[in-house]
A and B are shown apart, each in its own frame.
Chain A
C-alpha cells in the first residue's frame, strides 16, 4: 500500500512538472488563441503593399536585390512535375518560373493575360474560330537543348497533352474544339491539323466552334517542349519527360525528388533583355522542402526563420490571428480570389429535388459559423452567389452583395424564412420529417470541423444526418465525385477557376451535360435545360464584356435554383520570413510568385 502510494505520488509530481513545462512553452499558443477573438478582417482586394495588415503584395520593391536562395515549405508534392500534366495551384507555383507559356498574368492582375512567349495579343477572326498568336524571338531552351524556341515547340507541347502518355486533365475541356483533335487522338492523323505553324514565329489555332481557347492560352501546356529531345521520354507510358524536362523560362529544374524536394536554379539560356520576358527573376535558387505535415511547426519556422515562405498550406487559424495582431503582421498576406467553398445538395435525390427544401437549407444556414471553422473574417468573405471576386462577371452578377435572393440575405441564418420555405415544400410544421440523409465529409482538419457545423445546420430543419467521414481523397474519388454513390450532401467541396473567365467556374460545376460517372464536379447534379442552353450560348461569345454579362446572368439563374450553399470566397493566407520580399500571384491563389520574389 505504502509503496504504490509513494510511486503514484512520484508519478504525479513528475507529470505535473512536465505539464508545467509544456504550459510554459505553449504560452504563445494560448495567448494567440485568446487574442484571436478580436481578429478583424482588414483585407482588401487591391495589391501593391499599401501597408495595411494582410494586404497582398503584387509588385517587387523598387530596390529589390538579386541573388540568394529561397526555401518554400510545403506539406505535399506537385500533382505532376510534367508541365503538360500539372494542374494544381502548388504545381503551378513550382513550375511557372521554369515555363514560358504564351500568356500569363501579372501578379496583381488576375484578369488580364500578359504576353510571355507571345508577341502581343492574340488575333481573333471575326467568326471567333481562328486565333493567331505571334511568338517572340529571344527565348531559348535550357541545356542540353540550348536552341531558340519556335512555334513548332508550342504545337508539340500541346499535341503531346492529347496523347495517352500525357493524360492532361484539361485539354479536352478547353482545347477540345481545335480542329483535328479527335483524328489525332484516334491515331488517324500524325498531328492536330487545327494547330498550324506557318513559320517559326506564328502559331494558328483553328476551331470547330467558339469556346474558351483564348483564355486558356495562359495554361502551362502552352509552354514550348522541344520534340527532338522529348520524343524518347514521351514514347514511354507514362511519359518521363517531366523528370528530364528542359526549360524556356528564367529558371530550370535542377532536381526533383518526389514528396521530398524540388530545386530550381537559373536557366543559363534565358536572357531577360533578349526575351522581353516581364519576369525579373531575382533569386538565384529556389528549394522546395516537402513533407511539412504539421502546419503549426512549419508556419513557426517560416515566421521565425530566414528566407522561407509557405507553399501549399495555410497557417493554422490561431497562428493567423496572433500573427496579424503581433510584431510579425507584415509577414502575412490574405489573397482574394482564391476560390469558393460550397455545401452541395444532390438535386437528383429526395428531398433536395425540391427547390423549396434547398432554399430552406440556404436560409437556415449559419455561414458565419462555417467561416469560423477556417479562421473567421480574415480568411475570406461570406459568399452570396457562385462567381467569386476577381472572376469576370462577378460584379455584373451582384458583386459582394449578391443578386438579392432572400434565402442568402442573412449570413447567420434566418430560421423563420427557412420554416416558410419548408412549408412551401409541403412540410406543414416547417421541419423535415423524412428518412435520414447521407452526408460524406473530410475526417480531419478544418474540413472535419466544417462538416460538423454543416450537420448542425441541417439538424436545425429537422434532418437526421448520417455523417460518414473519410479521407479527403476518398471523399472526392469514391463519394462526392461519383453520382452513383448517392450522397445527398457534400459539405467540403469547392472550386477555383483555371483561368480568368467565368466559364471554367460555372460550366464544369452546374452544366447538366457535365454530370459524369466519375470525377463529376457538378456536385449538385444540377440539370436545368434553361441553364444548360444559356451556357451553350454564352460559351460562343468572344467579346469580353458581353461574355461577362452573359455568364453573370447564368450565375443569377443558378443561384436562384439554390443547388448548394455558397459560404466562402477564400482569401488564402500566405506567410514569409522577415527577410523575404514576397510577391503574391493573385491568379494562383496568392501563392508567392517565385519569378518576382526576392530577398531583402
Chain B
C-alpha cells in the first residue's frame, strides 16, 4: 500500500507540471488580455507601459517566465504575484480557501445526506408515489443551472430582496472565526443551491445501484437466513452500492475545493472560485495558474483518498 501511495504521489507531481504548462500555453496562444496594457489603463505612454511590463516580468522570454514560475513553486511554494493587484497569489488563495472549504464541505454533507437517504428510500420503495415524486424532483434539480437556482433562491428567500426573507443573501458571508452563527446562516442558501444538483444525481445513481444490488443472490440468501430488512439494506446492499458514490464524492469535492465559481459569484462569497472568475475575466495568468493548480491538486489527492477508501469499503480491492 505504501509503495502504491508513493507511486501515485509522484504521478501527482507530473500531472501538476503538465497542468501548469498547459495553462501557460493556453494563456499565450489564445486571445487574452495584455496585462501590462491593462494595468496601464488609459495611458498611451510607452515608457509607462514598459515600466509595468518590467514590473510584471513580462519583458522576459516566455520560456524564462515559465521557468521562473516553476522555480518559485518548487523552491519557495511561491505562485507569483497577481497581474491585477500585485497580491501574492499563494496568500490570496490560502486566505480564500476557508470560504471555499466552508461552502464545499457544508454542501457535501447536505448532498450526501439527502442523496443517500432519497436513493435508499426510492430503491426500497420502488414505484411508490414517494419514489416517483423524488425521482421527478431530482430531474428538475439536475436540469436547473446553479446560477439560475441561485438567483431564484435569492429572490425568494434572501433578506432584503426576497419574497420570504428568511436567510441572509448575497454578500453576507462571514468567516467562521468572526461569528460562527452568522457564518452558518450566511451559508444556508449557498449550501442548498450548490448541493441541489449533486444530491439529485447521487440519489438517482444510488437508487439504480441499490435496485441492482437488492436483486443479487447474496441478498436473497441473507433474507432466507432471516436477517432483518434494515440489516440487509444498510449492512449489505448499501455497502456494495455506495462504492461509485464514494468515487464521485471524492472527485466532486476536489472540483469544488478548486472553486465553486458560479455559487461563489452569485452569492458573492470571497472564495477561490470568485478569485478564478475575476482572474479569467481579466487575463490574470498567475492567479489563473494558481487556482488551476490548487484545483488539480485537490482533485488528484481526493482521488487518491477515494482509491484508498475502496480498500476498506470493498474487501476484494487490494493495492500493491
Stretch of B106-114, B163-171, B233-241 with 4 or more beta carbons under 8 angstroms from chain A: B163-171
Q: Once the chains bind, are B51 and A18 in contact (CB under 8 Å)?
A: no
Indicate if the CB atoms of B133 and A304 lie closer than 8 Å: no
The 0/1 profile, CB within 8 Å of B marked 1, for residues 254-274 of chain A is: 000011100000000000000
A150 to B43, CA, bound (A): 29
Query: Once the chains bind, are A173 and B43 in contact (CB under 8 Å)?
Result: yes
Tell whether, in the assembled complex, residue B46 and residue A297 are in contact, meaning their CB atoms are under 8 Å apart. Answer: no
Cross-chain contact A297 with B48 (CB below 8 angstroms): no
Q: Which residues of A contact B38 (CB under 8 A)?
A: 473, 476-477
Judging by beta carbons under 8 Å apart, are A301 and B170 in contact?
yes
Q: Smallest Cβ distance from A341 to chain B, in angstroms? A: 15
Q: Which A residue sits closest to B154, measured CB to CB?
A: A297
> Does B41 sit at the interface, judged by CB under 8 A?
yes
Roughly how many angstroms separate A350 CA and B201 CA in the complex, as a whole number?
A: 56
A553–chain B nearest beta-carbon distance, Å: 24
Which B residues are CB-close (under 8 A) to A13?
136
- Interface locus among A30-38, A288-296, A382-390: A288-296
Which B residue sits closest to A185, measured CB to CB?
A: B47
* A15–B140 touching, CB < 8 Å: yes
Say yes or no: A22 contacts B152, CB within 8 Å: yes
Residue from A24, A73, A293, A514 in contact with B265 in the complex, judged by beta carbons closer than 8 Å: A293
Chain B residues near A297 (CB, 8 Å)? 151, 154-155, 161, 169-170, 266
B37 within 8 A of A: yes
B165 to chain A minimum Cβ distance, whole angstroms, is: 9
Question: Among the listed stretches A275-283, A410-418, A518-526, A568-576, which one makes contact with chain B, having 4 or more residues with CB under 8 Å of it?
Answer: A518-526
Write out the residue numbers on chain A whose beta carbons fall within 8 Å of the beta carbon of B278.
Answer: 259
A6 within 8 Å of B by Cβ? Answer: yes
Against B, the Cβ 8 Å flags (1 = close, 0 = not) of A165-207 are 0011110110000000000010000000000000000000000
Are B48 and A3 closer than 8 Å at their CB atoms? no
Contact A237 B55 (CB under 8 A): yes
- The total of chain A residues at the interface (CB under 8 A) is 63
Contact B46 A518 (CB under 8 A): yes
Query: Quick check: is A593 within 8 A (CB to CB) of the other chain?
Result: no
Decide if A18 touches B170 in the complex (CB within 8 Å).
no
Are the C-beta atoms of B45 and A173 separated by less than 8 Å?
yes
Q: Do A11 and B140 have beta carbons less than 8 Å apart?
A: yes
CB-based contact A470/B44 at 8 Å: no
Q: Would you give the shortest CB distance from A78 to chain B, in whole angstroms? A: 9
Cα–Cα distance between A296 and B156 once the two chains are bound (Å)? 14
Instruction: Name A296's closest neighbour in chain B (CB-CB).
Output: B151
**Neighbouring B residues of A481 by C-beta, 8 Å:** 37
> What per-residue 1/0 map shows which CB atoms of A503-541 lie under 8 Å from chain B?
000001000001011111100000000000000000000
Inter-chain contact B275/A259, CB cutoff 8 Å: yes
Q: Smallest Cβ distance from B179 to chain A, in angstroms?
A: 16
Question: Which of B41, B84, B154, B277 counts the most chain A CB atoms within 10 A?
Answer: B41
Instruction: Tell me the bound Cα distance from A15 to B156 in angstroms.
Output: 17
Q: Which of A21, A259, A517 has the most CB of B within 10 A?
A: A259
A238 and B51 alpha carbons, distance in the complex (Å)? 10
* Contacting residue for B87 out of A14, A79, A258, A521, CB 8 A: A258
Q: Which of A26, A292, A498, A514 contacts B155 (CB 8 A)?
A: A26
Whether A88 contacts B41 in the complex (CB less than 8 A), given A10-B136, A26-B155, A297-B151, comes out as yes
CB within 8 A of A292: which of B43, B127, B268?
B268
In the complex, what residues of A have CB within 8 A of residue B42's CB? 87, 169-170, 498, 508, 519, 521
When each residue 3-30 of chain A gets 1 if its CB lies under 8 Å from chain B and 0 otherwise, what string results? 1001101111111001001101110000
Contact A478 B137 (CB under 8 A): no
Tell me if B268 and A291 are in contact (CB < 8 A). yes
Q: Are B155 and A520 in contact (CB under 8 A)?
A: no
Interface string of A145-168 (1 = CB under 8 A from B): 000000000000000000010011
B290 to chain A, nearest CB (A): 14
Q: Are B136 and A519 in contact (CB under 8 A)?
A: no
Q: Is B307 an interface residue when CB atoms closer than 8 A count as contact?
A: no
- A residues near B221, Cβ cutoff 8 Å: none
Q: Assess the A508–B48 pair: CB atoms within 8 A.
A: no
From known contacts A14-B137, A294-B266, A297-B154, infer whether A519 and B54 are also in contact, taking CB-CB under 8 Å.
no
Contact A170 B33 (CB under 8 A): no
Task: Enumerate chain A residues within 8 angstroms of B132, measured Cβ to Cβ.
Answer: 6-7, 10
Residue numbers in B under 8 Å from A366 (CB-CB): none
- Contact flags (1/0) for B165-199 with A, using CB distance below 8 Å? 00001110000000000000000000000000000
Partner of A167, one of B52, B163, B268: B52
Q: Is the CB of B274 closer than 8 A to any CB of chain A?
A: yes
Interface residues of B in 27-74 (CB under 8 A from A): 31-34, 37-38, 40-49, 51-52, 54-55
* Contact B151 A294, beta carbon cutoff 8 Å: yes
**In the assembled complex, A474 has its CB within 8 A of some CB on chain B:** yes
CA distance A493 to B108 in the complex (A): 45
**Is A305 an interface residue, CB under 8 A from the partner?**
yes
Whether, in the assembled complex, A298 has its beta carbon less than 8 Å from a beta carbon of chain B, the answer is: yes
CB distance from A49 to the nearest CB of B (A): 26
Tell me if B47 and A172 are in contact (CB < 8 A): yes
Looking across the interface, which residue of chain B has its beta carbon closest to that of A303? Answer: B161
A381 within 8 A of B: no
Closest residue of B by beta carbon distance from A13: B136
Q: A3–B132 Cα gap in the complex (Å)?
A: 9
Q: Determine whether the beta carbon of A169 is less than 8 Å from that of B136.
A: no
A residues near B169, Cβ cutoff 8 Å: 297, 301
Q: Check A589 for interface membership: any CB of B closer than 8 A.
A: no
- The proximity string for A residues 95-107 relative to B, scoring 1 for CB distances below 8 Å and 0 otherwise, is 0000000000000
Q: How many angstroms from the CA of A474 to the CA of B280 in the assembled complex?
A: 11
Does B85 lie at the interface of the complex (its beta carbon under 8 Å from any beta carbon of A)?
A: yes
Complex CA gap A300/B275 in Å reads 24
Q: Shortest beta-carbon distance, A33 to chain B, in Å?
A: 15
Q: B252-295 toward A: CB 8 Å interface, digit per residue (1/0)?
A: 00000000000001101010001101100111000000000000
A16 to B291 alpha-carbon distance, docked (Å): 39
- Give the CA-CA distance A471 to B32 in the complex, in Å: 8
Shortest distance between the CB of A419 and any CB in chain B (Å):
36
Tell whether A555 is near chain B: CB-to-CB under 8 Å: no
The yes or no answer to B143 lying at the interface (CB within 8 A) is yes
CB distance from B110 to the nearest CB of A (A): 19
Once bound together, how far apart are the Cα atoms of A25 and B156, in whole Å? 6
Point out the residues of chain B lying under 8 angstroms from A22, CB to CB.
152
B139 to chain A, nearest CB (A): 4
Q: Are A517 and B34 in contact (CB under 8 A)?
A: no
Interface centre among B33, B54, B151 (most CB of A within 10 A): B33
- A185–B48 Cα gap in the complex (Å)? 11
* Assembly CA distance A9 to B136 (angstroms): 8
- In the assembled complex, the Cα of A185 lies from the Cα of B275 at a distance in Å of 36
**Interface hits, A456-492 → B, CB 8 Å:** 470-471, 473-474, 476-478, 481
Tell me if B93 is interfacial: C-beta within 8 Å of chain A. no
Q: How far is the CB of A520 from chain B (nearest CB, A)?
A: 6
A25, A73, A478: the one contacting B31 at CB < 8 Å is A478
- A172-B45, A294-B266 provided; 20 other pairs, C-beta below 8 A? A3-B127, A14-B139, A26-B155, A77-B85, A167-B40, A167-B48, A169-B40, A169-B43, A170-B42, A173-B45, A258-B92, A291-B274, A292-B171, A294-B265, A297-B154, A301-B170, A304-B161, A474-B31, A476-B38, A516-B44
Which residues from chain B sit less than 8 Å from chain A, CB to CB? Answer: 31-34, 37-38, 40-49, 51-52, 54-55, 84-87, 92, 127, 132-133, 135-137, 139-140, 143-144, 151-152, 154-156, 160-161, 163, 169-171, 265-266, 268, 270, 274-275, 277-278, 281-283
Query: Interface residues, chain A, CB within 8 Å of chain B?
Result: 3, 6-7, 9-15, 18, 21-22, 24-26, 73, 77, 79, 87-88, 164, 167-170, 172-173, 185, 237-238, 258-260, 289, 291-294, 296-298, 300-301, 304-305, 470-471, 473-474, 476-478, 481, 498, 508, 514, 516-521
User: 18 A-B Cβ contacts within 8 A?
Assistant: A9-B136, A14-B139, A14-B140, A79-B41, A167-B55, A169-B48, A172-B43, A237-B55, A259-B85, A260-B270, A301-B170, A471-B281, A473-B282, A473-B283, A474-B283, A476-B37, A517-B46, A518-B49
| 7 closest Cβ pairs, A-B complex | A169-B43, A10-B136, A11-B136, A300-B161, A477-B34, A477-B37, A11-B139
